Amino acid sequence: MDRRHFLRHAGLSGLGLGLAGLCPGQVHAQLQTRTQAPTHRGQEVTSAPLTQDAQLAYPFHGRHQQGIVTPRQATGMVVAFDVLARDRDDLEKLLKILTARITFLTRGGEYPQRDPRYPPPDSGILGPSVPPDGLTVTLALGDSLFDERYGLADARPRHLQRMTGFPNDALDAARCHGDLALQFCANTADTHYHALRDIIKHTPGLLMVRWKQEGTVPLLPPAPGDVEGSARNFLGFRDGSANPSIEDEALMDALVWIGEAHDEPAWARGGSYMAVRIIRNFVERWDRTPLHEQESIFGRRKMSGAPLSGSREQDIPDYASDPEGRITPLDAHIRLANPRTPETENNRILRRPFNYSNGVERNGQLDMGLLFICFQADLDAGFISVQKRLNGEPLEEYIKPVGGGYFFVLPGAIDDRDFLGRRLLEATA
Amino acid sequence: MKPHQHLIAAATLGLLPLAAQAAVSPDALVGPIAEYKLYVLDNLEQFVDHTEKFTAAVEAGDLHNAQALYAPTRVYYERIEPIAELFADLDASIDAREDDYEQGVKDPDFTGFHRIEYGLFHEHSTEDLNAYAERLMSDVNELDHRVQDLTFPPETVVGGAAALMEEVAATKVSGEEDRYSRTDLWDFQANIDGAREIFTLFKPLAAQEDADFVKRVDDNFDDVETTLATYRVDADDPDAGFESYDEVNKNDRRALAGPVTVLAEDLSTLRGLLGLN
């Protein structure tokens, strides 16, 4: 399948509209690049990123926001904010400013010139012309925004809630929750630092950063032979192997996007729930664990990513003929997370994580782990149910969730007259 | 106009003038700068006077009095920081925090107000503070001496309003300046006083260039001061000062952070607006 075909099928509608800011030659060049990209298999959301094309621009407008079924870029960052807006008018201004900035930043372009006696309008860290660089910025709202401040309580998405700690969590209040979250994803980290600084500069008095966490996934450059496969996490395992396919639109509508079939307020249709977890990995200890035990804990082969019952990463694990867990232990991570039973099908989530490395703990051990991000149409049926099944899993000895939060991804903005959050405000007017 | 609409206007940065009108002649700045120097010298005189009393209390071993004089003395320094900071050596020995030193509070180079604050409010003792008190007094006298002969650079004076707001945004909103005494709100108000003094002196010139800007800045100053005023110990007596920063609730921290950030953005354009490099 070629990339052009993929783009059409991944729900990235309005391609021509979204690229309107580019000259025709550029559009042509991009499509050329895409059709020439490796076509070994469909690019899934957690496939290792293949390219670093600085002119890659994902269309901003559409029924859904970007950064969800978009093939995962090489770098990601979640920033949670406290909203300082003092009333609904302020909140509307904030949402309009964010929409305008995201539109510009994801499209790329140049800033206006300004008298040098003033502070420059742009940080300048990407140079005079800002490339789109595959940037997506995804706007989501936290449960706390639906408190008494803005009169949104009656329109709260049904499953939106404040994240509460699971038994293995050691949550750090300074890295949890938020009124609003932005997920930045791009080819290079500097692109989302630039985008974040642009947004901070445009929203004084409206937003205050609460926490942020960045991460990366290894780029897999096109090469003959082995380009298949999900990117690896910092435990060395391929992560995302069993993700539902973004090419299956019906499945995305069932599992990821809120539609008429979901019991949610009408304004929320086209949105999704985002669960974010900052999960520290005890990598030194992991690296001192026998390979066989590591593979039993996950239920997959480390190098190939194949389930213990199969030989290739994409093989479907066979639990039916292994009811006692002789091949795949009953408490293996992948078996608990997705038992492959009819009644757990609606618990499936779309994972889109990044690996993080923050520095060093006081004990001299590395502070590394997973910036876990997943999307689902029903937070309770999705992440919360999956995590409840995972409670007590053997992997817990090697991981410690320390932060994150639950957020509701707003439906997309459909055109230049629309803005993110418009339907929520109208529903509560 | 709704009460808080002014707060947002700065967010639409694209609407700010692309080119400074540069209608302000350099001569027009002379008067406000001279007035500002008088303001600084007045505060400096008070600063020397208060530091004498404060250090005397420390040296006399009068813990209660020394604690009471700590915050009211610092106010005069915090108001004139844009000028005081021109002397980096003195600023470090007078006002550095333990974070500025690799060894923290035990670092031999850590002196000044915050070292004494550590003794008075964390150790609850004046013991071993005499040397710090002596050093502070001599540093403050030296600062006074140096400022008397100083020619005030226009960029520093006008830019001082923004510099003070950066101080507030960086260390006052988070409540990390006076971590032992929790008297941050005294410093907060003093930084605002100092910034507003500069803004007020140049306001007639700024108003010729951009009346909306002047209105917005004044309104945001008012908002900050209104919130701060709710934490005054005695509404009728400014000298009674403020409650502990620990008393500031989450909503008010937000209510302060908003206009402070807008002031920092807006005042960062004051030099450009007045045609200064």
Tens-place pLDDT, residues A85-107:
999 999 999 999 999 999 999 99
Confidence of residue B176 (pLDDT cuts 50, 70, 90): confident
Give the pLDDT score at B15. 44
Q: State the smallest CA–CA distance between residue A310 and chain B in angstroms.
A: 54
Report which secondary-structure segment, H or E, holds A356: strand A354-360
Per-chain mean pLDDT for chain A: 89
Selected for mutation to probe chain A from B261, B262, B263 (highest A CB count within 10 Å) is: B261
Q: Which of residues 130-159 of B touch A (CB under 8 A)?
A: none
The residue count of chain A comes to 429
B11 and A87 in contact by Cβ < 8 A?
Answer: no
Q: CA of B274, closest CA in chain A: separation in Å?
A: 9
A310: pLDDT strictly greater than 50: yes
Chain B residues close to A204, C-beta within 8 Å: 10-11, 258, 261-262, 264-265
Whether the per-residue pLDDT at A137 is higher than 90: the answer is: yes
Q: Residue type at A289?
A: T
What are the φ/ψ torsions at residue A237 (nearest 5 degrees)? -100, 150
Residues 6+ apart with CB under 8 A from A350: A45, A68, A69, A243, A244, A246, A252, A255, A256, A374, A375, A376
Give the C-alpha separation, A50 to A33, whole Å.
12
Q: Is pLDDT at A20 greater than 60 in this prediction? A: no
Among A38-42, A263-267, B177-181, B220-224, whose mean pLDDT is lowest?
A38-42
Q: Could you tell me if B261 lies within 8 Å of chain A, comparing CB atoms?
A: yes
Q: What is the pLDDT of residue B250?
A: 87
DSSP A20-80: TTS-HHHHHHHHHHHHHS--SS---TTBPP----TT------SSS-SSSSSPP-SEEEEEE
Inform me whether the pLDDT recorded for A27 exceeds 90: no
B12 vs A121: CB contact, 8 Å cut-off?
no
Mean pLDDT (chain B) is 91
Residue B9 scores a pLDDT above 50: no
* pLDDT tens digit sequence for A379-417: 999 999 999 999 999 999 999 999 999 999 999 999 999
Q: Which domains, from first to last, does chain B contain? A: 24-273 (1.20.1420.20)
pLDDT higher than 50, residue A118? yes
| The pLDDT of residue A40 is above 50 | no
Amino acid at A231: A
Cα-to-chain-centroid distance, residue B34: 20
List of residues 6+ apart from A42 with CB closer than 8 A:
A1, A6, A245, A247
Residue A232: predicted pLDDT: 92
Confidence of residue B274 (pLDDT cuts 50, 70, 90): very high
Chain B residues whose beta carbon lies within 8 Å of the beta carbon of residue A82 = 254
Backbone angles phi, psi at B101, to 5 degrees: -125, 140
| Overall average pLDDT of the A359-383 stretch | 97
* pLDDT tens readout for residues A271-307: 999 999 999 999 999 999 999 999 999 999 999 999 9
User: Do A84 and B12 count as a contact with CB atoms less than 8 A apart?
Assistant: no
Integer Cα distance of B137 and B135 in angstroms: 5
pLDDT tens digits for B228-265? Answer: 999 999 999 989 999 999 999 988 998 899 999 999 99
User: What is the three-class DSSP state of A367?
Assistant: strand
Which pLDDT score, from 0 to 100, does residue A223 have?
55
Asked if A148 has any chain B CB less than 8 Å from its own CB, the reply is: no
| Residue found under tokens 């409670």 | A391
Report CB contact under 8 Å: A208, B257.
yes
Q: What phi and psi, each to the nearest 5 degrees, are found at residue B208?
A: -65, -30
**To which residue do tokens 């307020």 refer?**
A265
CB A272 within 8 A of CB A264: no
Cα A228 to Cα A38: distance, rounded to the nearest angstrom: 10
**A228 falls in which pLDDT band (50, 70, 90)?**
low
Angle subtended by helix axes B250-267 and B184-209, to nearest 10: 40
Contact at CB, B264 and A204, closer than 8 angstroms: yes
Spatial distance between the Cα atoms of B277 and B102, rounded to a whole number of angstroms: 36
A 174-203 residues with CB < 8 A to B: 201-203
Q: What are phi and psi for residue A395, nearest 5 degrees?
A: -60, -25
Q: What is residue B119's DSSP assignment?
A: I
Contact A283, A370 (CB under 8 A): no
Among A86, A115, A205, whose Cβ lies nearest the Cβ of B18? A115
| Mean pLDDT on B113-117 | 98
On whether the CB atoms of residues A266 and A274 are closer than 8 A, the answer is: no
pLDDT per position as a tens digit, A337-359: 999 999 999 999 999 999 999 99
pLDDT, residue B50, reads: 98
Model confidence pLDDT, tens digit, residues A138-171: 999 999 999 999 999 999 999 999 999 999 999 9
CA-nearest residue to B260 within chain A is: A205
Whether the Cβ atoms of residue B181 and residue B117 lie closer than 8 Å to each other: yes
The tokens for A257 are 């996007």
Put simply, whether B33 touches A (Cβ < 8 Å) is no
Over the Cα atoms of chain A, what is R_g? 21
Strand partners, A110: A129
Task: Please say if the pLDDT value at position A235 is more than 60.
Answer: yes
Best of B5, B8, B260, B274 to disrupt the A interface (most A CBs within 10 Å) is B8
A110: enclosing H helix or E strand: strand A109-110
